[in-house]
Amino acid sequence: MLSDPVTLYKLMALYLLKHVSYPLTEDRLSDFFLSGNYTDYFRLKEILSQLADSGMIRQTKAATATHYSITPEGEEAFGYFGKRLPQEITDEMDKFLQENRVAIRDEVSISADYFPAADAGTGAVSGQDFTVNCEINEGRSRLLTLSFTVPDEEQAKYMCSKWRERSQEIYAYLIRRLMGN
């Protein structure tokens, strides 16, 4: 058993990220750590920050979520120290991943983000328009990416929120139209 809780939490985060084939959101990691009463939100943020700073995990921020994935360095470190995790904790993590696998997959397979648009001529951020970027992924393959510009941040937020519920319909429509049906 590990006597240092920080080391335990780091190994637990690496375990969770190692045992999925796509990034986990900060919310999903928080769900596990907080519902299991392992640590509080602020300690978890500190742990994730330390792992990112040391190159063990990759942190990707979007307007709607922060995603984490394990790096080769993180996998190597876990290979050395992962055996120290208590079996009952790995069993709990496996159960969590199994029970949430569909929700976890859906969180990363359908994503939308927005950011201030750049002027096509100068490349400078215009400050008014926003680019909305919507994606559908399957595993590590990108099935569809749509990017478009809207006149204000409110519209960008709204489109991002609607993408999750309408993405499959839009994808099917595009495929039908492109195939001539």
pLDDT digits (tens, 9 = 90+) for 31-90: 999 998 999 999 999 999 999 999 999 998 776 678 899 999 999 999 989 898 999 999
Q: What whole-number distance in Å separates Cα of residue 26 and Cα of residue 44?
A: 9
pLDDT of 165 above 70: yes
| Lowest-pLDDT range of 84-88, 99-103, 169-173 | 99-103
Q: Name the nearest CA neighbour of 105 among 19, 21, 13.
A: 21
State mean pLDDT over 88-112. 85
For residue 24, the model assigns a pLDDT of 85
Outline where the chain has alpha helix (H).
5-18, 26-35, 41-53, 72-81, 87-99, 101-109, 153-178
pLDDT digits (tens, 9 = 90+) for 108-148: 678 888 888 876 555 555 668 899 998 887 766 788 899 99
| C-alpha gyration radius of the chain | 19
Q: What whole-number distance in Å separates Cα of residue 67 and Cα of residue 107?
A: 10
